[in-house]
Structure 1
Amino acid sequence: MTEPAKRAVMATRKDFRTLVHVPSGETLDENGRGLWPADSFTFRLLQEGALKDAPDEAPAALLKGK
């Protein structure tokens, strides 16, 4: 089974840093960044403005900590 595609995202406001991806349980780090599944939940939060795409360098930096 292949792992689902991931998308580097970041919170648009400090209070959104506590968001939890449903159903995976992924969270954002203390800076509000994360590598989340590219699914309908993530896309909805992007569309609503709670998340935005992280800068291009974010995926490599996020993977270093994993």
Structure 2
Amino acid sequence: MEITLKSDNLQDIHIILQLARRMNMEVVQANSWENDEFGVLSQTSLDDIWLTPENEVWDKLFTEIQQNIK
């Protein structure tokens, strides 16, 4: 299965990559970073996302959800 991410929202990408990590999925770069759709993202930032503690990612998501509910 191939999945293409078309988001420039770093928080969304954090969540998707954390789910992939939890499900033991391999994440492969499919395009050239010089022409990437994410603009500010680089291989380094994706590596940082991959290594971000899972609780930190989910805490940010739940905080964002709580703020949107109010």
TM-score, scaled relative to structure 1: 0.28
* Higher strand proportion: 1
Is the radius of gyration larger for structure 1 or structure 2?
Answer: 2
* Higher helix proportion: 2
